[in-house]
Structures are given as C-alpha cells and as structure tokens.
C-alpha cells in the first residue's frame, strides 16, 4: 500500500482534505534541486489543510492549496481560489515569494525587510508565522499585525550580531549594507537582494531570477576553514 494513501482523501461533506504531514513530502514541480516548501495555512480542519499556500525557497514559486487540493503547477489566474475580501492577490503572492526566498520555516523566525511596503511585511509575517522587522519602511501598515515591528534607522542596522534568520534588502543597497546583513544574520540565515548585487565570500548563492538573488550566510569567515 502506498504510504501516501491516507494523506489526502475525500468525503461527501467536505471535499478533499490534505493531511498536514504530506506537506513535508511535497516539492516544487520546477526543474531544480529539491527543497522543502514554505507553507502557510489559511483554513484547517484538525490535521488537514483546506486552504493555504506553498512557496518554493529556491525559485520562489507560489502554489495554492484550495479546497484541500494542492496545486503544484505554475499558477494561472483561472485555477486560483478567491481570497478574503480586501486582500490583494498580488500582495499575498509577493509576500509568499518573499517568505519562501527568506526560507522562513522555523517557528518564531525573525526576518528584517528593509525599505519595503509595510503591508507586504504584514503579509509575510502572517504567511510564515515569522516575526518581521520592517526597517525603514516606505509606508505605514494599513492594519495592526501582531508580529510586525517597525524600526527606523540610519546606515547601521540596529540589531545584535547573529540575531536574525533573514534579511531582504531594497533595490540599490550598497556594499556596506550587505556587510550589515552579514553581521546580523545567523549562520544559515538568508539574504534576499536585487539580482545585480554582488555577494561576499561568506554569502553562498542559492538561487536567482531576473529580479532577486537568494544567498545563505555560511557563517563568519574563519582562518581554519577551507
Ligand atoms: Zn521551485
């Protein structure tokens, strides 16, 4: 019997339901190295996911779970479910891509979004359950979000060394800003930046597309390594 047999099933009352454990086995359908997917659940029934979204941390693909069915194919407008009233699909989609690129799967992960729209930061926090610091945000949140803090600063990041799991930089960030990222990132933390940014030696490129490069911080450079 297939071990997957009980993961998703159908009942007359509720339609399909996706067993939450299956999420660990799902992979992005695109042709690249395997990776777990970032998951955000909007509606659950016990251990089953009815509505949600999956994001690929490698290619930033964003996939819907709708009516208990995981649509692991490149999304088109026609097969996407409707969202809550007032919630913009573009905002949620962009937020999921950011959460995926930042690899925010750890409970209570902390990420810093630099110079971005505050509502995107709010969406990222809700999709990932991460705590988000909206640093030097370009706007004010349109509604209160428990897991988003707004911080304003100058060139230096006002955070402890090795304290954050991910940083997303705005376009046009300088090399000194990248050095700040390296200082505040934990080993294994991620930097997401404009694709034109050149990466330092302890930032290992994981993925890139025409807009963004995703890198992992491999830890402080030590003389004994390599
Ligand atoms: Zn992918």
CA 79–ligand 1 middle distance (angstroms): 19
Nearest alpha-carbon partner for 56 in 88, 99, 20, 89? 99
Q: What is the pLDDT along the chain (226 residues), one digit of tens a residue?
A: 333 444 454 444 446 778 887 787 888 888 888 888 888 888 888 888 889 898 988 888 888 888 888 888 764 444 444 444 445 677 888 888 899 899 887 777 899 999 988 888 888 988 887 888 888 888 877 777 778 888 888 778 888 889 899 999 988 888 889 999 999 999 999 999 999 888 877 999 998 888 899 999 998 876 554 4
The pLDDT of residue 184 is: 92
Task: Give the homologous superfamily in CATH for domain 89-217.
Answer: Vaccinia Virus protein VP39 (3.40.50.150)
DSSP state of 107: T
CA 211–ligand 1 middle distance (angstroms): 15
The pLDDT of residue 32 is: 84
The pLDDT of residue 83 is: 44
CA 35–ligand 1 middle distance (angstroms): 8
Task: Locate CATH 3.40.50.150 in the chain.
Answer: 89-217
The pLDDT of residue 1 is: 37
Enumerate residues 6+ apart whose C-beta is below 8 A from 77: none
CA 93–ligand 1 middle distance (angstroms): 14
DSSP state of 94: H
Angstrom CA distances, 24 to 20, 21, 31, 86, stand at 8, 6, 18, 31
Structure tokens at 32: 């690249």
CA 4–ligand 1 middle distance (angstroms): 22
Q: What is the mean pLDDT of the chain?
A: 80
Return d(Cα 76, Cα 161) in angstroms, integer. Answer: 41
Return d(Cα 90, Cα 112) in angstroms, integer. Answer: 21
CA 213–ligand 1 middle distance (angstroms): 14
The pLDDT of residue 81 is: 45
The pLDDT of residue 67 is: 82
210, 196 contact by CB (below 8 A): no
Scanning the structure block, which residue is given the tokens 């997957």? 4
CA 33–ligand 1 middle distance (angstroms): 8
């Amino acid at each position: 019997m297939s071990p997957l047999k009980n993961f998703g099933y159908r009942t007359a009352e509720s339609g399909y339901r996706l067993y939450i454990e299956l999420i660990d086995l799902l992979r992005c359908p695109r042709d690249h190295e395997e990776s777990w997917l970032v998951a955000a659940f909007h509606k659950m029934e016990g251990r089953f996911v009815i509505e949600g979204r999956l994001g690929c941390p490698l290619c930033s693909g964003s996939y819907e779970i709708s009516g208990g069915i995981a649509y692991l194919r490149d999304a088109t407008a026609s097969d996407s479910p409707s969202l809550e009233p007032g919630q913009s699909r573009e905002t949620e989609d962009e937020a999921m891509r950011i959460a995926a690129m930042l690899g925010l799967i750890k409970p209570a992960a902390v990420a810093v979004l630099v110079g971005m729209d505050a509502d995107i930061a709010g969406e990222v926090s809700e999709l990932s359950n991460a705590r988000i610091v909206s640093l030097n945000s370009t706007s004010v949140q349109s509604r209160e979000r428990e897991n988003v803090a707004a911080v304003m600063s100058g060139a230096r990041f006002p955070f402890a060394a090795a304290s954050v799991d991910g940083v997303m930089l705005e376009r046009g960030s300088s090399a000194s800003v990248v050095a700040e990222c390296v200082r505040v990132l934990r080993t294994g933390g991620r930097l997401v930046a404009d694709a034109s940014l050149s990466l330092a030696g302890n930032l290992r490129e994981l993925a890139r597309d025409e807009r963004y490069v995703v890198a992992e911080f491999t830890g402080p450079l030590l003389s004994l390594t390599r």
